[in-house]
Chains A and B, each alone.
Chain A
Amino acid sequence: MKIINIIFQIAILYAFSFVGEVLHDVFNLPIPGSIIGMLLLLGGLSLKIIPLRFIEAGAGYLLKILSLLFIPAMIGIMNYPALISIKGAMLIVITIISTMITMGASGMMSQFLEKRIQKRKEKDKCSKHYSQSL
């Protein structure tokens, strides 16, 4: 019963992804179909059009096995044996370094701003002045 429920809920999620895909094609949007589907579902949940229990089990399950879903795409690397060369190694190194830079920059930036907001909130609590933060 539980399995049938999960499969049914995944089918609902699939439908959202499909509608997103159609909207993407029809309106020639730069945002990919699955992301449009996600925004639609988010809107549906927020406006209480779609009850959370309709997708909860299916979404939870898909997110639990998320890394499995990448494997077929990953195996595609086998079509690029050229990556095992000096030039390929250079490209891989650039990608790795650039990813680390991205990680460091976005992580530090958001953490810095988060701490500033928290400090401001504490100050607000102490002085009981209600200023418009942000």
Chain B
Amino acid sequence: MQQTLFAIIVILLTITAYILMTRLYVRFSFPLLLPVLTTTIILIVLLSIFHISYSSYMIGGQWIHSLLGPAVVALAYPLYKQRHIVVSYWFPIISGVFVGLITGMTSVLLFARVLGIDQTLILSMLPKSLTTPVALQVSEVLGGIPPMTTVFVMIAGFTGAILGPAFMKRLRINSSLGKGIAFGSASHALGTAKSAEYGEFTLSMSSVSMTLSAILGSIIGPIVAWMFTI
């Protein structure tokens, strides 16, 4: 009974904080005020103040977390609605996603090797641009540390959602297709959530490339890792 009450409080707290932070973001629309980021920080601070561990938080948090599966399934909806465009631009989409996967994974390997990071950490970083459920599985297959992978996945997501818009403007990536594919293949679902601000076409391009990244990434990941361990 007490546990149920605690779970309900945690859920309500998370949702309330999120709603308030969304209002704040809409009001000022400053990139660092991204609701996921601010809500996470507020909750971590609150949990630390009241000495609540992450696993206790998850008694309630898992209910929100468990909606991620159906949310990934829900991506079929924008994909279906934009299917004609997706089919007619299949070549730029596949190429963009493929190039993104290769550059993303090899750059991690190169930087990490140069800086002398240990193998298990490198392997945990490799799937950072894939969506969380996929990244966790790829990390496990590669021999990384899955919870560590979540952290890198989140950092990759934030990088895209916060720094992405200005960075793409610099590089003159201004077509809806280019932006969507960049968001989806670099910053998975967090980038996809951000891409919704650019309209439905960008959103569906982003979800297409996120999905393709997940599928291709789970195949390419082990190959890249294997090539560099020889």
Mark contacts of B138-167 with chain A using CB atoms, 8 A cut-off: 1 yes-contact digit, 0 otherwise. 000100000110111011110110011001
Mark contacts of A67-105 with chain B using CB atoms, 8 A cut-off: 1 yes-contact digit, 0 otherwise. 111111111111110010001001110111111111111
CB distance from B174 to the nearest CB of A (A): 8
> What residue in chain A is nearest B93 (Cβ atoms)?
A110
In the complex, the answer to whether A117 meets B89 with C-beta atoms within 8 Å is yes
Q: Which are the 4 A-B pairs with shortest beta-carbon distances?
A: A110-B96, A106-B100, A107-B182, A111-B178
In the complex, the answer to whether A34 meets B68 with C-beta atoms within 8 Å is yes
Q: Which residues of A contact B (CB under 8 A)?
A: 10, 13-14, 16-18, 20-21, 30-35, 37-39, 41-42, 45-46, 52, 55-56, 58-60, 62-63, 66-80, 83, 87, 90-92, 94-115, 117, 134
User: In residues 60-99 of chain B, which contact A (Cβ within 8 Å)?
Assistant: 61-62, 64-65, 67-80, 83, 89, 91-93, 95-97, 99
- Residue of B171, B215, B219 touching A107 (CB-CB under 8 A): B171
In the complex, the answer to whether A106 meets B211 with C-beta atoms within 8 Å is no
**Most chain A CB within a 10 A radius of its CB, from B65, B74, B96:** B74
A109 — which chain B residues lie within 8 A by C-beta? 92, 95-96, 99-100
In the complex, the answer to whether B73 meets A106 with C-beta atoms within 8 Å is no
A70 — which chain B residues lie within 8 A by C-beta? 36, 68, 132, 154, 157, 189-190
In the complex, the answer to whether A117 meets B92 with C-beta atoms within 8 Å is yes
A117 — which chain B residues lie within 8 A by C-beta? 89, 91-92
In the complex, the answer to whether A75 meets B47 with C-beta atoms within 8 Å is yes
Bound Cα distance from A59 to B111, whole angstroms: 39
In the complex, the answer to whether A107 meets B76 with C-beta atoms within 8 Å is no
Bound Cα distance from A41 to B75, whole angstroms: 9
Can you list 14 A-B contacts (CB < 8 A)? A21-B69, A30-B218, A32-B133, A32-B137, A38-B79, A45-B77, A58-B70, A71-B39, A80-B148, A96-B159, A104-B182, A107-B179, A108-B171, A113-B91
In the complex, the answer to whether A16 meets B70 with C-beta atoms within 8 Å is yes
Known: A78-B48, A114-B89. Is A71-B70 also a contact (CB below 8 A)? no
Bound Cα distance from A45 to B76, whole angstroms: 9
In the complex, the answer to whether A108 meets B108 with C-beta atoms within 8 Å is no
In the complex, the answer to whether B104 meets A78 with C-beta atoms within 8 Å is no
In the complex, the answer to whether A78 meets B92 with C-beta atoms within 8 Å is no
B12: Cβ under 8 A from any A Cβ: no
